[in-house]
Amino acid sequence: MSNDDITVWKVISTVVKGVAKTVEIAGTGVSTAVGGVQRSASAVRDSMPVTEITTVFNTTDKIVKFVNKETPRDSKDILGQSAIVLKSEHTAGAWVPWFDPPLYDGFERRHIAVVIDEVPAVYIWQKGDFVYWTNRLDSTGKPAKAYKMSGITHVGGARTLVIRNDPETGYSAFMTAAPS
Q: Which of 52, 66, 113, 61 is nearest to 82 (CA)?
A: 61
pLDDT exceeds cutoff 90 at 19: no
State mean pLDDT over 58-67: 97
- Mean pLDDT across the chain: 85
- Enclosing H/E stretch for 75: none
- Enclosing H/E stretch for 58: strand 51-58
Q: Are 134 and 171 in contact (CB under 8 A)?
A: no
pLDDT exceeds cutoff 80 at 20: no
Please tell me the distance from the alpha carbon of residue 120 to that of residue 68, in angstroms, as a whole number: 12
Q: Are 22 and 129 in contact (CB under 8 A)?
A: no
Q: Are 164 and 138 in contact (CB under 8 A)?
A: no
Q: What is the pTM of this model?
A: 0.72
pLDDT score, position 96: 96
pLDDT score, position 81: 97
- Which range (42-51, 79-88, 112-121) has the least confidence? 42-51
Cα-Cα end-to-end distance for the chain: 87
Q: By three-state DSSP, how is residue 27 classified?
A: helix
